[in-house]
Amino acid sequence: MPVDRRSPAARRRARAGRPPRATLRRLRAAASARRVHLTWTSLFGVVTATCLLVLAVTGILLSVVYVPSGALVTYDGPYAPLAGAQVSEAFDSVMTLSWETTGGLLIRQTHHWAALVLPASLIMQLLSTFFSGGFRRPRRVAWLLLVGLFVLALVGGWSGYALPDDMLSGTGLRIVQGVALGIPVLGTWAAGLLFGDGFPGRIIETLAPLHMWVVPAGIAVVLVARAVLAWRHGPTVPAVAAAKGTLGVRLWPDAALRALRMGAMTTAVLVLLGATTTISPVWSYGPADPGNVGAGSQPDWYMGFLDGALRLVPSGWETEWFGYTWTFAVLVPLLAVGAWFVALALYPFLEGWATRDTVDHHVLERPRNVPVRTGIGVAGALFYGVLWGAASADILATTFQVSFESVITVLQITLLAGPPLAFDVTRRMAVGLQRKDRDIALHGHETGRIVRTARGEYLEIHAPADATTRALLTTVAVGTVPARPDHDGRRSVTRGLRELLGRWFAEGHVRPEGHPRSERETAVGNLGGRRGGVDSRPPRRADAA
Ligand code: HEM
């Protein structure tokens, strides 16, 4: 092979001078050489990207007519019930968009529907990455970026929801102002930064650039960074594909064209929803009014968990310390939700630290094979789900004709008792599923055929599992490394905690009998790790061992 002896700078200069067509050819060749495995979870990445594209295109069109100003004007448009009402310029422009601009309502509603689908798709991406261990080395930064993208989408949705300045968005903003003011020491400053003087102050003028510039720019940076990392790390391999030894399809044109098709279908569905299904009918909510709140006000679904967290705090949680009022009714939900997000973002680092995992992983895991992680995931999802459900506590109470207080009490109990219970049940189910896998790997599938032997015994016939199934069902455990003592013979608290977490994380792995130990297991065994017929270490695929 000819050796390129040019300096890196000379190579860069040559690349910059290369005609675009040659660069395109090179890119196409590289993409054709790349193989990716397509699974149904790959769809969510495409749905996310499509929602962002639809939001950008419709958002730019909306900003042509939208006026980001809270200054009051008299409404004189065609919607008779509001004739002569004092409304903000922002509300007036959204009414113009909805009633007087050709295609305006379609664009508004498509924008809003895309904003509703985006967090759902991101949550599915987070869940599938979490439960399959797709966040492990070397993809930990990519996971951080995915969590960051989710947070940016929430900020984008929340700030967009406020822009029309209707009664619903005004109610949401009043809650935000209350929460900001409830933060000791910094609260007044934070509320002043957002709202200026009083309420609603200049909140529309503050949120419009955040929504139209800062959030989209942040999202673009995250997307580019994720694309670069994805290219560098290569695609993950689903456990089934690894067992079968399939290569996947070419990134270009096979996977790319399928993604384009899926993107076109998603766009069509969003436009269809925008054309046929009313969302955010600001004319029936009316303009924002600090003195009024509409009954049954609900945030967009993805912000429900914050609203629910506020509703679940018992009343009267407030005290005075150091001359400040400490409103725990605000602080506890903020801390709980903040801690949940920090735990979500840092989980891969915590798991890697506890299990002393220092190798790169490219094959995804089956959730049942990592019972503790799966249990933690279900517990975390339940925690989020209960907070989310609590945002609709008033609707639940009126729908089921029960008292609001009883709904809140049930949700409070579920919030505290549900996650540990869900963890334990899930972990046990995962272990049970592993035992079933072990039975199939060792004895094959049940056929339902019972035969009687010459000696009168009854036996069920098992069909041996094929090699692919056996490869899929057979996982190799990786042990926890015991904490080494310090030079003075004692173990530090951190090392002890690490070993404790490692052992806890390793619980519940069922290994097919007679399965050979991996190299790492043997090394761990030599260090004094626990051994037994039923292993108690976390499973790892053969590639990780
Ligand atoms: C993550 C990306 C985005 C999300 C989640 C999002 C979400 C939203 C939501 C929920 C609304 C309220 C829609 C309604 O009135 O019913 C809205 C309004 C608006 N958005 Fe976005 N948006 C995003 C990106 C953008 C971008 C990139 C632009 C423009 C450059 C933009 C411009 C606007 C404008 C002008 C409005 C006010 C008009 C109106 O409410 O009808 N958005 N956005």
Q: Are residues 361 and 490 in the same domain?
A: no
What pLDDT is recorded for position 474? 77
Instruction: Give the integer Cα–Cα distance in Å for 44 and 62.
Output: 26
* Atom 19 of ligand 1, residue of closest alpha carbon: 160
Question: In sequence order, what are the beta bridge partners of 284?
Answer: none
Per-residue pLDDT of the chain (545 residues; tens, 9 = 90+): 456 667 777 776 666 656 678 888 988 899 999 999 988 899 999 999 999 999 999 999 999 999 999 999 999 999 999 999 999 999 999 999 999 999 999 999 999 999 999 999 999 999 999 999 999 999 999 999 999 999 999 999 999 999 999 999 999 999 999 999 989 888 999 999 999 988 899 999 999 999 999 999 999 999 999 999 999 999 999 998 988 888 899 999 999 999 999 999 999 999 999 999 999 999 999 999 888 877 777 889 999 999 999 999 988 888 988 888 888 999 999 999 999 999 999 999 999 999 888 889 999 999 999 999 999 999 999 999 999 999 999 999 999 999 999 999 999 999 999 999 999 999 999 999 998 998 898 889 989 999 999 999 999 899 999 888 888 887 665 555 566 666 676 778 888 888 888 888 877 776 655 454 443 343 333 333 333 333 333 333 333 32
In a domain, 56, yes or no: yes
Q: Tell me which DSSP letter residue 532 carries.
A: -
Instruction: Give the integer Cα–Cα distance in Å for 403 and 308.
Output: 17
Q: How many helices (H) and strands (E) does the chain have?
A: 21, 10
Please state the atom number of ligand 1 nearest to the C-alpha of residue 152: 1
Q: Which residue has the tokens 């590639």?
A: 543
- Are 317 and 332 in contact by the 8 Å Cβ rule? The answer is yes
- Ligand 1 first shell, C-beta below 6 A: 55-56, 59-60, 62-63, 66, 94, 97, 108, 111-112, 115, 118, 153, 156-157, 160-161, 163-164, 211-212, 215-216, 219, 280
User: Residue 81 Cα, ligand 1 centroid: separation in angstroms?
Assistant: 26
User: Residue 518 Cα, ligand 1 centroid: separation in angstroms?
Assistant: 53
User: Residue 262 Cα, ligand 1 centroid: separation in angstroms?
Assistant: 23
What pLDDT is recorded for position 316? 83
Q: Report the run of H or E that residue 85 belongs to, with start and end.
A: none
What pLDDT is recorded for position 407? 96
User: Residue 281 Cα, ligand 1 centroid: separation in angstroms?
Assistant: 15
Question: In sequence order, what are the beta bridge partners of 327?
Answer: 318
* Domain endpoint, select from 350, 365, 380: 365
Instruction: Give the integer Cα–Cα distance in Å for 412 and 395.
Output: 17
**Interior angle at CA 228, CA 223 and CA 231, nearest 5:** 120
Q: Which residue has the tokens 């299904």?
A: 277
In this structure, what token pair is assigned to residue 170?
């005004």
Please state the atom number of ligand 1 nearest to the C-alpha of residue 279: 16
Instruction: Give the integer Cα–Cα distance in Å for 144 and 126.
Output: 10
What pLDDT is recorded for position 20? 77
Type of residue found at 494: T
In a domain, 132, yes or no: yes
What pLDDT is recorded for position 378? 98
In a domain, 425, yes or no: no
* Ligand 1 mutation pick, 94, 211, 277, 303, max ligand atoms within 8 A of CB: 211
Instruction: Give the integer Cα–Cα distance in Å for 411 and 418.
Output: 9
DSSP string, 137-191: TT-HHHHHHHHHHHHHHHHHHHHHHHTT-BHHHHHHHHHHHHHHHTSTTTHHHHH
In a domain, 501, yes or no: yes
In a domain, 240, yes or no: yes
Domain tally, the chain = 2
User: Residue 8 Cα, ligand 1 centroid: separation in angstroms?
Assistant: 44
Best CA proximity match to 205, nearest among 62, 68, 64, 63 = 68
User: Residue 98 Cα, ligand 1 centroid: separation in angstroms?
Assistant: 14
What pLDDT is recorded for position 23? 86
Which residue segment(s) compose the domain that 516 sits in? 476-540
Type of residue found at 44: F
Half-sphere exposure of 273 (CA within 13 A, CB side): 19
Q: Are residues 224 and 357 in the same domain?
A: yes
Please state the atom number of ligand 1 nearest to the C-alpha of residue 66: 35
* Atom 26 of ligand 1, residue of closest alpha carbon: 59
User: Residue 267 Cα, ligand 1 centroid: separation in angstroms?
Assistant: 16
* Atom 16 of ligand 1, residue of closest alpha carbon: 280
What CATH number does residue 174 fall under?
Answer: 1.20.810.10
What pLDDT is recorded for position 24? 87
In a domain, 218, yes or no: yes
- Are 36 and 233 in contact by the 8 Å Cβ rule? The answer is no
* Ligand 1 mutation pick, 53, 62, 67, 168, max ligand atoms within 8 A of CB: 62
Instruction: Give the integer Cα–Cα distance in Å for 237 and 39.
Output: 10
Q: Are residues 46 and 175 in the same domain?
A: yes
Instruction: Give the integer Cα–Cα distance in Å for 139 and 156.
Output: 25
What pLDDT is recorded for position 541? 37
In a domain, 461, yes or no: no
Buried b / exposed e over 153-189, threshold 16 CB at 10 Å, is: bbbbbbbbbbbbbbbbbbbbbeebbbbbbbbbeebee
Q: Tell me which DSSP letter residue 464 carries.
A: P
* Domain endpoint, select from 340, 365, 390: 365
Instruction: Give the integer Cα–Cα distance in Å for 293 and 95.
Output: 20
In a domain, 198, yes or no: yes
* Domain endpoint, select from 337, 365, 393: 365
* Atom 40 of ligand 1, residue of closest alpha carbon: 164
User: Residue 291 Cα, ligand 1 centroid: separation in angstroms?
Assistant: 26
* Ligand 1 mutation pick, 95, 107, 109, 111, max ligand atoms within 8 A of CB: 111
Q: Are residues 499 and 354 in the same domain?
A: no
Please state the atom number of ligand 1 nearest to the C-alpha of residue 169: 12
User: Residue 224 Cα, ligand 1 centroid: separation in angstroms?
Assistant: 21
Best CA proximity match to 216, nearest among 444, 54, 95 = 54
Task: Mention every residue, 6+ apart, whose C-beta is less than 8 A from residue 208.
Answer: 66, 68, 163
